[in-house]
Amino acid sequence: MAGHRHDHGAGAGDRRVLWAVVVNVLLTFAQIVGGVVSGSLSLIADAIHNFSDAASLIIAFGARRIARRPADETMTFGYVRAEIVAALINYTTLIVIGLYLVYEAVMRFFEPQEIAGWTVVVVAGIALVVDVVTAILTYALSKESMNIRAAFLHNVADALGSVGVIVAGSLILLFGWQWIDPVVTLMIAGYILWQAFSEIGGSIRMLMLGTPHGVDVTRLAERMRTIEGVESIHHVHVFAIDEETTAVEAHVVSSATTGPAAAAVRSGIRALAREEFGIAHATLELEEPDDACSGPAAGILAHGAHDPSDTSPERFVTRTPSSHA
């Protein structure tokens, strides 16, 4: 029954994304025609960005479908990271679009063109309505998925772009300020670049198997060492399988490597990782003290018992980076 509800919810989400694609494609054509007729660069810029909205939604839709495929022999973790790849693609296209708009706006300062203000205002007004509809269709999904969040940010940037275009068209009508068009274009581009650069790090971090935000690997290793029967911890790697599941793998040096004592060590570490650090999946390799691997490749903490208050360099062999991507 739970699986049925999940499929039903996923299907409803897919339909919302598909409707958002349709309205954005129609809007893109309308904006391009309006921009060409009026001579407005900011309206064409908004159309290009809106086309990227449609493309991002298509990519997001495809990634959602792929991500639900079950694991198989070639993809033992499943296909859940398809959505992370889609998010990276969408953020990258936002950066490319933003840089292109900066170039076009600067060139327009040197080669100004007459702009029909009324056409700009009317078409941008229609675009703003469509942007609001798209936002309504994708907002709830954006809170659950990095993939949809990337597409949603495309849409938010486009909505603000439409507002900017309306303002530019109105100022042209009222005061004849033709220069305001490239100025607004630069503002749109600046917002796009700011959003893209601030969000792209999360997808890169996950694809690079970086430590998830909020998990202190050093503290985790220290807490794992407090479990009864654990002598030392090394080779600690924490990574996100997807947006909802964090995993840890570690080598645990313990005299208890078999039987109930070993089971108690494993269950204690897993419970600690889950309850204190939100780590749902733990892969642990138990090593006897005389047979433990050593050297820099061993991972985060050097062998042997260490005082948790000891912060000397000798305490560490190598450390998994914990800085943001």
pLDDT per position as a tens digit, 268-315: 999 999 999 999 899 999 988 877 675 444 455 443 334 444 443 333
**Whole-number pLDDT of residue 113:** 65
Q: Which residues, 6+ apart, have CB-to-CB distance to 321 below 8 Å?
A: 210, 211
The residue range of the domain holding 232 is 217-315
pTM metric for this prediction = 0.68
User: Is 320 a domain residue?
Assistant: no
Tell me, yes or no, whether 108 and 225 share the same domain.
Answer: no
Tell me, yes or no, whether 81 and 200 share the same domain.
Answer: yes
**For 15, what's the count of Cα atoms within 13 Å in the CB-facing half-sphere?**
6
Tell me, yes or no, whether 90 and 229 share the same domain.
Answer: no
Please write the tens of the pLDDT for every residue from 30-48. Answer: 777 777 777 766 667 667 7
Tell me, yes or no, whether 223 and 194 share the same domain.
Answer: no
Tell me, yes or no, whether 87 and 187 share the same domain.
Answer: yes
User: Is 105 a domain residue?
Assistant: yes
CATH number at residue 42: 1.20.1510.10
Q: Pick from 185, 207, 229: which residue ends a domain?
A: 207
CATH number at residue 254: 3.30.70.1350
User: Is 231 a domain residue?
Assistant: yes
Tell me, yes or no, whether 69 and 138 share the same domain.
Answer: yes
Q: Pick from 156, 179, 207: which residue ends a domain?
A: 207
Tell me, yes or no, whether 199 and 230 share the same domain.
Answer: no
- 76: three-class secondary structure by DSSP: coil
User: Is 197 a domain residue?
Assistant: yes
Separation between Cα atoms, residue 37 and residue 119, nearest integer Å: 8
Cβ contact 72:184 at 8 Å = no
Burial of 273 (0-12, 13-18, 19+ CB in 10 A): buried
Tell me, yes or no, whether 275 and 176 share the same domain.
Answer: no
Separation between Cα atoms, residue 77 and residue 67, nearest integer Å: 11
User: Is 169 a domain residue?
Assistant: yes
Please write the tens of the pLDDT for every residue from 210-249. Answer: 888 889 999 999 999 999 889 888 889 999 888 788 999 9
Tell me, yes or no, whether 80 and 189 share the same domain.
Answer: yes
Q: Pick from 207, 237, 257: which residue ends a domain?
A: 207
Closest by CA to 184, choosing from 163, 154, 156, 198, is 163
Tell me, yes or no, whether 121 and 194 share the same domain.
Answer: yes
**Whole-number pLDDT of residue 268:** 92
**Whole-number pLDDT of residue 318:** 34
